[in-house]
Every structure is written in structure tokens, then in C-alpha cells.
Structure 1
Amino acid sequence: MELTLPRRLVEFQQPAAEGWLAGLPELVEEVLGRWELTVERVVAPGGRHSMAVLVTDAEGRRAALKISAPDRPAAVEEAALRRWQGLGAVRVLRCAPEAGALLLERLHGETSLRALPEAKAMLEALSVARRLWVEPGAGHPFPSVAEHTARQAELGRQAAPLAGPEAAGLLAEALDLRDSLVSGAQEEGVLLHGDFRQGAVLASDAERAPWLAVGPEPLVGERAFDLARLVRDRLHDLVASPGAAAITRRRVAQLAEAVDVPADRLRAWALYRAVLSGVLSLAAGRRAEGEMLLEFATWL
């Protein structure tokens, strides 16, 4: 069958990845042949940095083939998934790092925690997160939160002129906040998902757990950093709610209490991550998304 690139991948890829994107159909076909996989369908609308294809192997077992962009090393994701050993996260079956390819157990990609009522979804998300926060292990390949956010900060500075003067001012404040968070970190680092949110936790038929995390961007650092993305989950619904600012602050307090992290650090990381994402969205021309993220940041 002809492999059509998913819409979100095409829309959000950066110019530096154009060569990879152009050769992606051929790369997927090569991996399919190498591992003797039969295609069922391409997952749509897909991710922003990877392509997922539902497949069956030579023995008829269902799986998902994921091919990631060059800036998302498959070997690092594989290392995290193997460290978790299926406890809280999807299991990896095979990996071809040079192709950015991972063969993963099949989950219900159409059903994430967002299908649940908000309160129930948050409880399930925290249950999954607790399983993921383990020791990273000796000689691990995972970058630290400090290293990761330093690279992010540089991207933010480059994007600031395109985002407008008001966004640039918010970014400067957020980067100062990031510096104080990194220098003042006291919690011993654990393995983090890195992009933990309700949409990254999918329904599973596995006997070990009904919900499993996918798509990690693994880091080592404090748990508050992982929770920070969860703070702004279902942002469209939040923006439309009366008293959105109060709801947001209450969510911070509830999440911090639930896993015993300092509420001020969770609030600060949530603010930093929202501002950075907002600036990058504005610079990329996604104005509605960027403005919504910056508005959220003001509630914190």
C-alpha cells in the first residue's frame, strides 16, 4: 500500500528536517521489509515528530511501528522503555536506532486518558507517573532537565523576534525563572517521561495495567518538571471555563499535594514550559495556540 504522510507531521516539521521527511516513505518501507511487517494503516493525524504505522509481524502479532525524526533519538527512547520494563509504559519489541525505528506493542491509540472525566483522568495519570519515576540506572543516556531546558532556552531566544515584543518580554522572565529553578534544584533526579500529559497515556489490553504511557522524551530531573505539562492539560476546555485562573491554581495545588512536590516549583515549571511553548508557537505562525499558552501562563 502507498504510505501517506500524516498531516500533523508534515505541518509541524522544521525546515531542517525536510530531507528526512522527503525520504520517510522509503525509510518506512525499508524497515517494514527488514522486519517482515505487514501494514494495516498509518496512524492519523499522527505526531509532530514521528510517524506511526499499525502493523502485524510474520507471526500475526499486532504491533505499532514508530519512525522518529533525527532530533528524537530512538535509542534514547528505547533505553527508557526498557528501563521501565512495561511498568507504566508501552513495551518495546525491536529497535533500529540508525533508522529511528521502534517496534512497540499495540495499544488503543484512539483512547487516551482524555476520554475519561477530568478528575478520574488526573488520578489515573498520577498513578502512571508514579510508576515511571524510577532511578535512571548507571551509565544512562538520558539528558538532564538542566541540559534539555538550556537547549530549549536557546531555541526560545532565536524565536523571540518572530513572536513579538510582548511575548519576548514574557520569555525573558520565564528564562530567568528557569535559571533559578535549575540552580535551586534539591530533589534527586529520577527518570522522567519528559512530555507527560493525558494524551500520552493510552488504553491497554495488557493484564499488567489498563493505561500505559507512550511517546517519552526521557530526561533525568525533578518530578515537578514532569507534572508541569499535566497542569495545562485540556487547555481549550480550561480557557472556556469561568474562573480559569482559579481552576489552574487549584490544579497546581492538588497535583503538588498528591505526589508531595513543592507547589511553588510545580507552578514555576508550568509557567516556564507554557511560555516557551507559546513563544515557539507564535514564531511558527500558530498564533491561536501561542496566544492561548501565554494567557495560561499569566494565570500562574
Structure 2
Amino acid sequence: MDFEAPRRLVRALAEGDSTQEDALWLTRLPELLARTVEQTGLVVERVVAPGGRGSLVVLVHLPDGTPAALKLAPPSAATGHERTALETWDGSGAVRLLGDAGPTGLLLERLHPEVSVRSLPEAKAVLEASGTLRRLWAPPPPGHGLPSVADRTAAAAERLRAADPGDTVAPLIDAALAVREELLAAGEPEAFLLHGCFHQGKVLAGDRAPWLAVGPSPLVGERAYDLARLARDRAEDLVATTAGPSTARRRVGRLADSLDLDRDRVLGWTLFRTVTAAVAAMRADRAREAEPLLEFASWL
């Protein structure tokens, strides 16, 4: 099947910690898609572009005509973890898993990929997104094998320690590392199934429900961690205003209160995850992405 992989996916695999297997997977992606379609009897409608950073998503029809989405992920992706989370949620607040499509492929309920919560005015978007996130916080299934918050953040902390960011960013890195140690010092206070990569762009319009989450990178731990990525949504808009610092802290506080979470823990994980994302963007020479994140982090 002739097609060109979305540029966002190509760029993300080149910039990230992808493996040689991932690079080979990318070159063979047209062949893989064609083989998957043939084996499953799917009818391809179109490739979703720009699509995601970690997978190829194709709008398809099942053999019985039901519209669906085929997600093909590289070998390094934890597709098994995503499958575990989607099976646990069973469509409650999240896209419904329809079946497997090869070792790293998933067949998913068809949503509307062009319409995310981010298209709403900010106040409404935050309300809808936080309501969706609340529905995802469930007890993890027995024998889940998912990483903990401590596990997930350990590698990120090592990357921060290895960074050479310059004098202006170093204090933020020190603060991020210190707050992680403080948050984990007494062990994790609770063990919920978390989305792991939740933000407004991960909440899409659906037919079965108005808004459903997609693209989890699931883990188990405290809910404050899961709220941290949502808290910095539209950071670039805040940077453009004179009320940025006060608005940022007020937003974090309101989100924490709306979901009955400890403000300080939400603030701490927001700082850690924002600095982590900024340093990753700097490593990839994406200064325009890193700068508002660093500004946002400095306000927390």
C-alpha cells in the first residue's frame, strides 16, 4: 500500500529514544499496513494526518462495514500496557478496544480525530477534560504489570541529571529533581490506573459519548501525577499574557480542587513534568516548544 508516513511520526521517532527496530519498522510501515489490512479484511479509508507522535492511525471499516480506527505502533511502544488499560476502562471515559491487529496493532472504536477538547474555549475545555480524566481513575487490574509513577519518572530524572542546559535552566532542573524526591520520599500515597499522557489533545469527540480519551501511556500511582500534563495545556497562551504567573498557579489550584487532590502534590508533579518536557524539547532543538514550557515552570 503506497502512502507516506506522517511527518510528525517520522520526526518524533528520529528525535526520541527510538531503537533500531523502530527505524526498521518505519521503513517497512507501508508493507506492514498492507499485510495487516489483508489479514484482517479491513477496508482503508485514509491515514490520519498529522496524527500522533508515537503511532500510525488509519481510519478503516471492519469487514461488516463498522467504522473503526487501526493503530499501528513501533516495537518499542508498550502496546500491551495500552491494551490492559483500554480493557480495564471498557469504554468508560476512553475509546473502546475492538480487537488486536498483529503484535503491536490495535483496532479501536472510531472517534472524530479532527475534533478534540482543545477546540473548545479554555474554561469549557478544562471542565470537559477533567471530567473525562476522573472517569479513568480506576483500581488497576490484578497482575497488571504496569509501571509505577516512581518507575516512569526514574528514567526522566536520569535524563535531567545528564542534561547540560546552561546556567538559566539549571535551577529549574534542580528544583524538579528535588520535588520528585520529596513527592516519592514517603512512597506513593495511592495506586490508581492512570492515563499517563493526558491533555486536551488526547480527548476526542465521539458518537457514543461526547468526549473520550485516547492514546494512554498507562501506569499506576497517584492521581496528582496524571493531572500535571493537563495543568500546563496552552502554556504558550499564558506566556503571551501579563497575568501568566498568577494565572498558572491559580489554574493548578483550581484543577486540584475540582478533582479533590492535594494542591501541593499537583503543583510538584506539574513542575517536574513541565521541566522534563522542556529539556526534552531542548535536546531535540525545538526551542519554540521549550521556551514557553520553561517560562511556565518558572512560575510554579
TM range, normalised to the smaller chain?
Answer: over 0.9
Partners of 1:33 and 1:176 in 2: CA distance: 52
Match of residue 281 from structure 2? 281
Could you tell me which amino acid in structure 2 is paired with residue 81 of structure 1? L
Superposition pairs for residues 38-187 of structure 1, below 5 Å? 38-96=43-101, 98=103, 100-158=104-162, 160-161=163-164, 163-185=165-187, 187=189
Partners of 1:55 and 1:164 in 2: CA distance: 47
Partners of 1:97 and 1:25 in 2: CA distance: 14
Q: Secondary structure at the match of 1:166?
A: coil
Q: List per-residue Cα deviations over 1:126-159 (Å, max 9, x = no partner).
A: 211111000002111211011000122223334x
Quick check: 2:100–2:106 contact (8 Å CA) kept in 1?
yes
Per the normalisation by structure 2, the TM-score is 0.94
Aligned length: 295
Q: List per-residue Cα deviations over 1:13-49 (Å, max 9, x = no partner).
A: 1363322221222222221111111111111111111
Per the normalisation by structure 1, the TM-score is 0.94
Match of residue 190 from structure 1? 192
Partners of 2:187 and 2:133 in 1: CA distance: 20
Could you say what the CA RMSD is over the residues aligned between the two structures, in angstroms? Answer: 1.5
What percentage of residue pairs aligned between the two structures are identical? 51
Match of residue 31 from structure 2? 26
Quick check: 2:195–2:217 contact (8 Å CA) kept in 1?
yes
- Structure 1 residues not aligned, in runs of 5+: none
Partners of 1:296 and 1:184 in 2: CA distance: 27
Quick check: 1:75–1:95 contact (8 Å CA) kept in 2?
no
Superposition pairs for residues 217-296 of structure 1, below 5 Å? 217-296=217-296
Farther off after superposition, 101-110 or 177-186: 177-186
Partners of 2:188 and 2:23 in 1: CA distance: 41
Farther off after superposition, 191-200 or 237-246: 237-246
Q: Secondary structure at the match of 2:168?
A: helix
Could you tell me which amino acid in structure 2 is paired with residue 205 of structure 1? D
